[in-house]
Amino acid sequence: MAEQDDLTKLSRHTVTIKRPIKEIDLLLVGKTGHGKSSTGNTILERNVFESSSNTTSLTKNAVYDVSRYRNYVIKVMDTPGVMDTSEIQDSIAASQLVMDQMKDAVILNPRGYHAFLLVYKFGIRFTKEEFESVRLLKQIFGESFVQRFCIVIVTCGDHFRTECKLKGLSFKRWRNDQQGYFKELRLDCQDRIVLFDNSSQRDAKTHNKQMKKLLKCVENLNNDGNRYTDKHFHRAQKSRDFLLKETQMEKIDRGLEEVSVILGLYKSIIDYGQKDRREKFQEICDECETISQHFSESEVKLSTVKDFLNLI
């Protein structure tokens, strides 16, 4: 009887053991207009990052915030849209800007990131241009960063449910049915793809379901709990150097094409009358000046092109 009383007292005073708090750091990357900042707001459960459906990025610098979700403390770092450098005419300067912005994101969080969230919008065709943004990120962060650290977030989950789920098509089936560039990305990230609903109409059940899938993907990364740190970023320096050289060569090729056109026009001046010849010659000189300035601005040392332009 006394033993029974003791058990009764013990059951009344039993304390629920809390699960240990886990810290997770996430870095958002992707093109402008795909819902990158909105995804960050959804994870944090409050509007921290400026978001818009426009193709011009509202996020100009890497910014972060922290939130608590169940037994997780989650830090989310938002970054400017990849390939959103339309305001910069010089391609080399544009590439350098993107690299600097991503470098800032790494510096701002010295302990590193458990995962990169690569954000793409459901309903937009995953074209070569979309895949080029993945290639650019690989050149910045390292060739294996998608395979080791990336989770793909497909936004507009509410639209997916309207278009596909009502037809009996599950997200997993839709994901596996995709071909081309999206299939390459799916295989590269080893099927770590999560559907996200960032709409204000989503309910708690939807939010908890997508958060559960996201956090499961983070914990299942085969990195033994290791984060992507500045050490990984430093190892990818050769890849970034190659990116700049590749951009320089593309610029040089375009310049040579323009020079070839100008040379053809220069040879055809003889067919014009004297007055028209002067006007045409002035047009060619203006074009030469423009091309020469482009090379000077990017500090591309192409003496052959410059010598020819000066000669004209």
Q: Which helix (H) or strand (E) holds 116?
A: strand 115-121
Is 51 within the bounds of a domain? yes
Average pLDDT over residues 218-229: 88
Q: What pLDDT shows up at residue 19?
A: 66
Residue 309 pLDDT > 90: no
The verdict on 128 and 248 lying in the same domain is no
Residue 15: inside a domain: no
pLDDT band at 10 (very low <50, low <70, confident <90, very high): very low
* Beta strand 22-30 pairing with 193-195: unpaired
Per DSSP, 223 falls in state S
Residue 128 has pLDDT above 80, yes or no: yes
Same domain, 49 and 113: yes
Residue 305 has pLDDT above 80, yes or no: no
186 vs 202: CA distance, rounded Å:
26
Average pLDDT, the chain: 81
Contact 110, 230 (CB under 8 A): yes
Regarding whether 49 and 154 lie in a shared domain, the answer is yes
Residues 168 and 261 in one domain: no
Asked if the structure places residue 250 within a domain, the reply is yes
| Interval 162-212: pLDDT, tens | 998 778 899 999 999 999 999 999 999 999 999 999 998 889 999 999 999
Residue appearing with tokens 């591309």: 300
CA distance 71 to 77: 20
Indicate if 196 and 257 belong to the same structural domain: no
239 and 143 in contact (C-beta within 8 Å)? yes
In this structure, the answer to whether residues 76 and 132 fall within a common structural domain is yes
Residue 259 lies in a domain: yes
Q: Are residues 125 and 217 in the same domain?
A: yes
Residue 110 domain-assigned (yes or no): yes
At 220, the pLDDT band (50, 70, 90 cuts) reads very high
Buried b (16+ CB within 10 A) or exposed e, 145-183: bbebbbbbbbbbbbebeeebeeeeeebeebbeeeeebbe
Torsion of CA 126, 129, 130, 133, to 10 degrees: 160
User: Do 274 and 148 reside in the same domain of the chain?
Assistant: no
* pLDDT greater than 80 at residue 290: no
The order of strands in the sheet holding 22-30 is 63-69, 72-78, 22-30, 115-121, 150-155, 193-195
pLDDT at 17: 52
Total domains in the chain come to 2
Instruction: Kindly give, in sequence order, each residue whose CB lies less than 8 Å from that of residue 136, ignoring residues fewer than 6 positions away.
Output: 82, 83, 98, 243
Question: Is residue 233 in some structural domain?
Answer: no
Residue 74 contacts residue 22 (beta carbons within 8 Å):
no
In this structure, what DSSP letter does residue 21 have?
A: P
**Residue percentage of the chain with pLDDT more than 90:** 47
Same domain flag for 99 and 217: yes
Domain that holds residue 42: 22-228
End-to-end Cα, the chain, rounded Å:
110
Give 308's pLDDT tier (boundaries 50, 70, 90): very low
Highest mean pLDDT among 92-101, 172-181, 302-311: 172-181
Q: In a 3-state reduction of DSSP, which class is residue 23?
A: strand
Identify the pLDDT of residue 300: 47
Structural domain includes residue 129: yes
- Indicate if 106 and 190 belong to the same structural domain: yes
pLDDT at 20: 76
What is the band of 27 on the pLDDT scale with cuts at 50, 70, 90?
very high
30/129 Cα distance (integer angstroms) = 12
Task: Give pLDDT, residue 200.
Answer: 84
**Any idea which residue has 């323009």 for tokens?**
258
| Helices 237-268 & 128-141 angle (0-180, nearest 10) | 130
Q: Please, which pLDDT band fits residue 11 given cuts at 50, 70 and 90?
A: very low
- Residue 156 counted as domain residue: yes
Q: Cα(274)–Cα(299) distance, rounded to whole angstroms?
A: 37
In terms of domains, do 57 and 193 share one? yes
Is 195 in contact with 210 (CB distance < 8 Å)? yes
The pair of three-digit structure tokens given for residue 209, joined into one six-digit string? 């379901």
Q: pLDDT digit string (tens) for 77-89? A: 999 988 665 555 5
pLDDT value of residue 301: 46
